[in-house]
Amino acid sequence: MPKLKTHKGAKARFHVTGSGKFLRMKGGSSHLRRNKPARVKREYNDKLPISPVDKKKLSRLMPYAGK
């Protein structure tokens, strides 16, 4: 069985924790950021867990990430 390739776009956009959870950043963090309130800008600093629906799709894109 050949090795599976990691999808480079998914690798750049998602982070995997040590326990195997996938984390993502919020979208729209750079566009028109000056006009947004400070509270909204702070929300862009955190990484959020992905939806459970997307876990199967993401694990196919990143076969060697997580557990």
Q: Is the pTM of this model over 0.85?
A: no
Sheet holding 22-25, edge to edge: 14-16, 22-25, 47-49
Angle made by CA atoms 35, 40, 45, in degrees to the nearest 5: 115
Instruction: Give residues with Cβ within 8 angstroms of 33, minimum separation 6.
Output: 41
Give residue-wise pLDDT tens across range 5-54. Answer: 999 999 999 999 999 899 999 988 888 888 999 999 998 999 999 999 99
How many C-alpha atoms does 41 have within 13 Å on its Cβ side?
9
Domains of the chain: 8-61 (4.10.410.60)
Long-range contacts of 25-30, Cβ-Cβ distance < 8 Å, separation of 24 or more = none
Q: Could you identify the residue written with the tokens 């040590």?
A: 18
